[in-house]
């Protein structure tokens, strides 16, 4: 997943009740209107993320040519995480504006399916020969609470630490750097600050406006590497009183109180993700960044092509807090193409999804967007394996990766994590107070019976 998302939680939550009755409730066998057909495809596009737009612009004329009488209307939503979900929720709030095909984050599937945004597509995938090419984990990523399928996976991802080898060399740090603990990361950041002034030593996403990138690329990369590695959730219980939660916030406090991270005007801006990939790294203004496996996709080709990226950038696995446990940790997610519940043309909408994610198109998308392939035939294709030198490293992180809780209430919980992180980096709350407030809000969201003490 390229990640992303902290969401328009209030907007989404307010629409859940009113839209829940719209869900199909069956396997997706919905009547197809006859005659001329227009389907609308809603998806995200930013300065740093154009690969999906490139793919859909290619698929549109091919699909229209192969399906006379069909018009595909592409509606790219040019916005960062939160704004994308806000606009998507508003579109889904009315049958007249609801998209037929939706670019959907895997962690949103359960809540969006429950809200009535998405059509179950089990009847369609059963008849699709390519469905057997998708790994079981990828199929599970599209399941709703009811066990029905609500999307087709486009790929997955992992996360690690990117570092600028040229800046490291200037600072006297090894260019094959592999930290063994959080202390090693902080030590390297302090060295860069001292030896290479004018460069941001470390970026770890920290703002509410950054949405899910703050939760997943930032906080969870820390939290899931603490203690027993349970992170936020254990079985059917959410964890409160977690020492790892507070320790993770203390890491943020250290980074921002020692001015090892970006200035707050950059860190708290919604476009910080784009700024990191299109400006800070390519222009040598950032030494290290905890980020996702998709980053090189924008450097290999497109408007933000960076010819020297391979010589400049190194990668390191994210260490656990003190090097214990598995020693390293990562987070994984993914994105899907789903069929909207309000579509008048469900078969046509699904056929578009199937064409967009056939082997050739999946190969193109997974390579250019640096996705970990979920189609077996793409993962084994020599073109995929040779396209991006970072694939081997980031695929290797799957062995110690974690997946976010895919529960309907995760979106609200994620938002509260972002509140906790931002309150610490801005000095509005201590890590202990921010963790306590998170625990209180968590209990309100899920109920007392759904939480347990991590102690």
**In this predicted model, what pLDDT tens digit does every residue of 357-369 receive, in sequence order?**
999 999 999 999 8
Q: Does the residue 130 lie in any domain?
A: yes
pLDDT the model gives residue 407: 83
- Measure the CA–CA gap between 32 and 10, rounded to whole angstroms: 33
- For residue 374, is pLDDT > 60? yes
Check which CATH number belongs to the domain holding 247 and give it. Answer: 3.40.190.10
Q: Does the residue 324 lie in any domain?
A: yes
Answer whether 68's CB lies under 8 Å from 319's CB. Answer: no
- For residue 313, is pLDDT > 60? yes
pLDDT the model gives residue 108: 87
Stated pTM of the model: 0.81
Q: Tell me the DSSP string of 245-303.
A: HHHHHHHHHHHHHTT-S--HHHHTSTTHHHHIIIIITTTT-EEEEEEETTHHHHHHSST
Q: Does the residue 299 lie in any domain?
A: yes
Q: What single-letter DSSP state applies at residue 429?
A: S
pLDDT the model gives residue 49: 84
Q: 317 CB contacts (<8 Å, ≥6 apart)?
A: 160, 161, 178, 328, 330, 397, 400
Q: What single-letter DSSP state applies at residue 32?
A: P
pLDDT digits (tens, 9 = 90+) for 259-302: 999 999 999 999 999 999 999 999 999 999 999 999 998 899 88
Total structural domains within the chain: 2
Q: Does the residue 1 lie in any domain?
A: no
Phi/psi zone of residue 316: left (φ > 0), alpha (ψ -120 to 50 degrees), beta? beta
Structure-model confidence comparison of residues 207 and 19, the more confident one = 207
Residue 251 lies in domain: 159-331
pLDDT digits (tens, 9 = 90+) for 415-451: 999 999 999 999 999 999 999 999 999 999 999 999 9
Look at 4-18, 69-83, 148-162, 258-272 and tell me which has the smallest mean pLDDT. Answer: 4-18
Same-domain pairing of 177 and 135: no
End-of-domain residue from the set 281, 311, 331: 331
Residue 6: pLDDT band (50, 70, 90) is very low
Q: Does the residue 262 lie in any domain?
A: yes
- Measure the CA–CA gap between 124 and 95, rounded to whole angstroms: 22
Look at 81-90, 181-190, 193-202, 393-402 and tell me which has the smallest mean pLDDT. Answer: 81-90
- Measure the CA–CA gap between 99 and 87, rounded to whole angstroms: 11
Same-domain pairing of 153 and 178: no
pLDDT the model gives residue 448: 96
Q: Does the residue 227 lie in any domain?
A: yes
Q: Does the residue 406 lie in any domain?
A: no
pLDDT digits (tens, 9 = 90+) for 202-215: 999 999 999 999 99
């Amino acid at each position: 997943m390229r990640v992303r998302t902290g969401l328009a939680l209030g907007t989404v939550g307010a629409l859940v009740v009113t839209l829940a009755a719209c869900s199909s409730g069956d396997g997706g066998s919905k009547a197809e209107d006859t005659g001329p057909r227009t389907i609308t495809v809603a998806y995200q596009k930013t300065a740093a993320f154009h690969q999906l737009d490139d793919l859909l612009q290619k698929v549109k004329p091919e699909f229209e040519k192969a399906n006379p009488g069909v018009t595909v209307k592409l509606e790219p939503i040019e916005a960062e995480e939160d704004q994308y979900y806000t606009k998507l929720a508003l579109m889904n709030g009315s049958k007249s504006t609801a998209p037929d095909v939706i670019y959907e984050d895997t962690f949103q599937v359960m809540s969006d399916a429950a809200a009535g945004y998405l059509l179950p597509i089990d009847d369609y995938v059963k008849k699709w020969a390519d469905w057997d090419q998708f790994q079981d984990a990828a199929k599970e990523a599209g399941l709703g609470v009811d066990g029905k399928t609500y999307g087709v996976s486009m790929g997955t991802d992992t996360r690690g630490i990117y570092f600028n080898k040229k800046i490291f060399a200037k600072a006297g740090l090894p260019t094959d750097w592999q930290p063994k603990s959080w202390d090693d990361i902080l030590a390297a950041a302090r060295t860069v600050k001292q030896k290479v002034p004018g460069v941001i030593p470390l970026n770890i996403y920290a703002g509410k406006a950054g949405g899910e990138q703050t939760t997943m690329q930032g906080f969870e990369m820390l939290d899931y590497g603490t203690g027993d590695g349970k992170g936020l959730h254990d079985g059917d219980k959410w964890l409160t009183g977690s020492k790892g939660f507070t320790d993770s916030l203390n890491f943020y406090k250290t980074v921002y109180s020692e001015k090892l991270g970006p200035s707050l005007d950059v860190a708290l801006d919604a476009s910080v993700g784009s700024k990191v990939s299109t400006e800070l790294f390519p222009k040598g203004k950032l030494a290290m960044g905890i980020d996702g496996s998709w980053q090189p996709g924008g450097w290999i080709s497109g408007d933000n092509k960076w010819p020297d990226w391979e010589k400049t950038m190194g990668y390191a696995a994210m260490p656990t807090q003190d090097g214990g446990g598995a020693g390293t940790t990562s987070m994984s997610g993914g994105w899907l193409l789903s069929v909207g519940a309000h579509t008048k043309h469900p078969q046509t909408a699904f056929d578009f999804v199937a064409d967009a994610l056939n082997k050739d198109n999946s190969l193109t998308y997974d390579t250019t967007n640096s996705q970990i392939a979920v189609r077996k035939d793409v993962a084994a294709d020599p073109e995929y394996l040779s396209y991006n030198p970072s694939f081997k490293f980031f695929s290797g992180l799957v062995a110690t990766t974690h997946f976010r809780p895919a529960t309907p209430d995760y979106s609200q919980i994620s938002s509260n994590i972002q509140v906790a992180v931002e309150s610490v980096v801005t000095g509005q709350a201590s890590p202990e107070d921010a963790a306590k407030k998170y625990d209180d809000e968590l209990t309100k969201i899920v109920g007392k019976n759904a939480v347990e003490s991590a102690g």
